[in-house]
């Protein structure tokens, strides 16, 4: 893929997520990793429904800004993307969105794991067991993003997640995948599961 194609894909995906209500205003951030280990990430504070090609910053494998339009800052949550790419060398895309449902389900439990219902949809996230008992890791939403990133690194180094996703309480979901298309599917699947959980609770199930 050329740089242009990567950015076109991220712009289209952000617009799609914006129209779902998952990247309202400036919420969320998307990144894609290139074969040289650098990655393109959305610049901080841009309206995610109307991104253009100059709204991205390229971060080197060492974590420095490598390419940017004047006046841009990388996403405030770049440290989380960096830690995901470090932990999961096969990942080439990392997407983070804020939905109402993600925030609601993050309060359904007090602990640091959200049990997921044994839905067929889990197969789309790589879970192929009969009646799976799968959980989604939850992290606290610290003001200092670096602290969230450190906690992700410490926890996943000891206990790898069962699915390529993590939830930050009262904040949003992050997924990672081996292609931009797969990361987009993962966001859609996880958001479906969140809607199911909210609907099930409303229905008293």
Ligand X SMILES: CSCCC(=O)C(=O)COP(=O)(O)O
Residues that bind Zn ion (CB under 5 A): 172
> Rounded to an integer, what distance in angstroms lies between the CA atom of residue 170 and that of residue 104?
7
Residue 112 · residue 138 · CB < 8 Å = yes
Shorter beta-carbon distance to Zn ion: residue 164 or 172 = 172
By a kind-dependent CB cut-off of 5 to 8 A, residue 44 interacts, out of Zn ion, ligand X, none, with ligand X
Maximum pairwise Cα distance, the chain: 52
Stretch 24-63: interaction string toward ligand X, x if CB under 6 A: -xxxxx------------x-xx------------------
| CA 157 – CA 36 distance, rounded (Å) | 24
103 is an interface residue for ligand X by CB under 6 A = no
Identify the sign of the CA torsion 148, 10, 39, 46: negative
Shortest separation between residue 78's beta carbon and Zn ion, angstroms: 11
- Tally Cβ neighbours within 10 Å of residue 148: 22
Measure the CA–CA gap between 11 and 47, rounded to whole angstroms.
11
Query: Residue 205, SS3?
Result: coil
Is the CB of 78 or the CB of 92 nearer to ligand X? 78
Please, are residues 27 and 172 in contact by the beta-carbon 8 Å criterion?
Answer: yes
Residue with tokens 């995901």: 84
Name which of 100 and 199 has its Cβ closer to ligand X.
100
Query: Which of 108, 109, 39 shows the shortest CA–CA distance to 74?
Result: 39
The item of ligand X, Zn ion, none sharing an interface with residue 25, based on CB under 5 to 8 Å by kind, is ligand X
Instruction: Select from 21-29, 51-59, 122-130, 182-190 the region that touches ligand X (CB under 6 A).
Output: 21-29
* 100 binds, options ligand X, Zn ion, none, Cβ within 5 to 8 A by partner type: none
Q: Does 142 appear as a known binding residue? A: no
User: Does 10 sit near ligand X (CB under 6 A)?
Assistant: no
3-class secondary-structure state, position 143: coil
Residue 12, contacted partner among ligand X, Zn ion, none, CB below 5-8 A by kind: none
Judged by beta carbon, residue 87 or residue 145, the one nearer ligand X is: 145
Contacting positions for ligand X (CB under 6 A): 25-29, 42, 44-45, 75-77, 96
Annotated binding site: 96, 98
Annotated binding site for Zn(2+): 96, 98
């Amino acid at each position: 893929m050329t740089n242009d194609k990567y950015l076109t894909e991220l712009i289209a995906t952000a617009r799609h997520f914006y129209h779902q209500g998952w990247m309202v205003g400036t919420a969320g951030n998307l990144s894609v990793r290139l074969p040289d280990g650098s990655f393109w990430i959305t610049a901080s504070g841009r309206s995610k429904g109307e991104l253009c090609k100059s709204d991205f910053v390229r971060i080197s494998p060492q974590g420095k800004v490598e390419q940017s339009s004047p006046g841009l800052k990388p996403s405030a949550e770049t440290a989380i993307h960096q830690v995901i790419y470090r932990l999961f060398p096969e990942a080439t895309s990392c997407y983070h969105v804020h939905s109402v449902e993600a925030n609601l389900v993050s309060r359904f439990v007090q602990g640091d794991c959200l049990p997921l219902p044994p839905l067929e949809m889990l197969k789309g996230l790589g879970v192929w067991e009969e009646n799976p008992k799968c959980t989604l890791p939850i992290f606290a939403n610290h003001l200092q993003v670096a602290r969230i990133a450190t906690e992700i690194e410490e926890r996943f180094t000891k206990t790898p997640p069962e699915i390529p996703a993590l939830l930050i309480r009262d904040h949003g979901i992050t997924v990672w995948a081996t292609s931009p298309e797969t990361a987009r599917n993962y966001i859609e699947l996880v958001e479906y599961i969140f809607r199911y959980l909210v609907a099930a609770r409303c229905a008293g199930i």
